[in-house]
């Protein structure tokens, strides 16, 4: 178990936030992001001062003084570690020799996984420590970039608050764990796992972007083909052109079980006059027209299906399979709908969803750097986002 006598450094870094189109604007992999200020406090010296490194886009090499310690402590330390891995060859080559301590993750474990995504201010309040100073946050909220904030102000924010506050929280957590050996062993194992996850996140997953683009074209063609087929079935059943929505449970209920659809028909009857709020814009009349829909399953012996609160049948893939066995017409209709759903999921989640998170590195090749969330669930289970790599399909829809 880690002890206060160990050779450790508490660190925190402030970075640029250049990735405007990403949810995580300070993502380490964005080529324009760099460390603006890195502060660290050595924990085992008689008079531990604060070491500081101020970086620029042109010069972001991490000094060796930050890398001599073998235990690194931080709040949400994975963020800082990813930047150290990016900008220090020495750190990257020796990463497996380090140990890490994330005060956010440890607090999550101490709370029995009830304190999710614990911020530094959240944890500070528990230990009777002051919250972050407002000056830097005010500047960020006003749209100021991190690199434009006066270095003295940024230093006071990072070295004057975040580092010493994290240091005190670290001490408080060690004191609690000294009385609970079982939880201490859990924390130690989770810190080892966090280090492995950090390395996984930094390495990322290589993507054949040319193959991804080809797959996108194939899936869109297959989706369009299935969509046209089910729209033809719906038109034959009585739906007006352009009205049927295969993603609507209500429309699917009409298609399979029949009924009278109330269709709103809009007709332009002129334009609004000069004095009206919508002057010059077209004016419409709306008529509600009842349309009789002949259900594909009418008159057939149907399976028992679950109903939603509004009285319509739930038509998930299992229900569609049960319906499809009752006639060839039902089989083809349900097959088209299931194919549409599969292609839409592949396209939206695994193709278009991945493309917006890919960092290009060469022509035809890119890398995905998913975020592994260690403090997101009430069960302690790992989660992943941007994109969710724990929900990756190993099935290629283009080969259907």
pLDDT tens string 201-231: 999 999 999 999 999 999 999 999 999 999 9
- Helices 163-177 and 103-110, packing angle to 10 deg: 40
Separation of alpha carbons 244 and 211, rounded Å: 33
Render pLDDT for 278-315 as a digit per residue (tens, 0 to 9).
888 888 888 888 999 999 998 877 778 899 999 999 99
Q: Report the run of H or E that residue 29 belongs to, with start and end.
A: none
pLDDT for position 276: 81
Separation of alpha carbons 357 and 7, rounded Å: 38
CB 230 within 8 A of CB 336: yes
pTM of the shown model: 0.82
The residue-averaged pLDDT of 233-248 equals 93
**Percent of the chain with pLDDT strictly greater than 90:** 68
Separation of alpha carbons 240 and 237, rounded Å: 9
Looking up tokens 């990322």, which residue turns up?
204
Neighbouring C-beta atoms of residue 215, cutoff 10 Å = 20
Separation of alpha carbons 295 and 234, rounded Å: 9
Structure tokens at 252: 């699917």
Looking up tokens 């810190």, which residue turns up?
191
Residues 6+ apart with CB under 8 A from 5: 44
Strand 282-293 versus strand 383-385 pairing type: unpaired
pLDDT for position 57: 87
- Label residue 64 by pLDDT band (50, 70, 90): confident
Of how many residues is the chain composed? 400
3-state secondary structure of 179: coil
Render pLDDT for 369-378 as a digit per residue (tens, 0 to 9).
999 999 999 9
Q: What torsion, rounded to 10 degrees, do the Cα atoms 20, 24, 27, 33 define?
A: 30
pLDDT for position 397: 47
Return the CATH architecture of domain 8-204.
2-Layer Sandwich (3.30)
């Amino acid at each position: 178990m880690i002890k206060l006598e160990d050779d450790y450094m508490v660190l925190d870094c402030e970075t640029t936030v250049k990735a405007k189109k990403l949810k995580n604007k300070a993502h380490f992999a964005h080529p324009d992001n760099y460390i603006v200020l890195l502060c660290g406090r050595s924990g085992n010296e008689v008079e531990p001062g604060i070491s500081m490194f101020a970086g620029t886009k042109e010069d972001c090499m991490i000094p060796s003084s930050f890398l001599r310690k073998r235990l690194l402590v931080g709040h949400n330390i994975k963020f800082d570690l990813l930047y150290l891995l990016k900008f220090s060859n020495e750190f990257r080559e020796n990463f497996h020799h380090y140990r890490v301590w994330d005060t956010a993750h440890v607090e999550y474990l101490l709370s029995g996984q009830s304190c999710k995504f614990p911020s530094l201010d959240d944890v500070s309040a528990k230990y009777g420590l002051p919250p972050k100073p407002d000056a830097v946050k005010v500047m960020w909220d006003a749209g100021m970039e991190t690199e434009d904030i006066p270095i003295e102000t940024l230093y006071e924010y990072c070295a004057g608050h975040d580092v010493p506050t994290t240091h005190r929280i670290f001490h408080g957590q060690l004191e609690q764990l000294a009385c609970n050996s079982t939880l201490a062993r859990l924390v130690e194992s989770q810190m080892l796992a966090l280090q492995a996850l950090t390395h996984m996140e930094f390495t990322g997953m290589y993507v054949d972007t040319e193959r991804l683009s080809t797959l996108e074209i194939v899936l869109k063609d297959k989706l369009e083909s299935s969509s046209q087929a089910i729209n033809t079935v719906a038109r034959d059943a009585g739906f007006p052109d352009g009205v049927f929505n295969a993603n609507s449970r209500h429309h699917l209920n009409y298609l399979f079980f029949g009924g009278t659809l109330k269709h709103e028909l809009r007709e332009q009857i002129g334009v609004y006059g000069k004095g009206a709020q919508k002057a010059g814009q077209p004016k419409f009349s709306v008529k509600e027209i009842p349309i009789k829909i002949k259900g594909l399953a009418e008159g057939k012996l149907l399976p028992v299906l679950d109903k939603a609160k509004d009285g319509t049948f739930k038509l998930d893939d299992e229900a569609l399979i049960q319906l499809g066995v009752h006639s060839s017409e039902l089989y083809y209709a349900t097959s088209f709908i299931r194919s549409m759903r599969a292609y839409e999921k592949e396209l939206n989640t695994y193709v278009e969803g991945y493309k917006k998170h890919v960092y290009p590195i060469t022509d035809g090749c890119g890398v995905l750097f998913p975020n592994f969330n260690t403090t997101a669930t009430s069960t302690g289970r790992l989660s992943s986002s941007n994109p969710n790599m724990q929900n990756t399909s190993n099935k290629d829809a283009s080969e259907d």
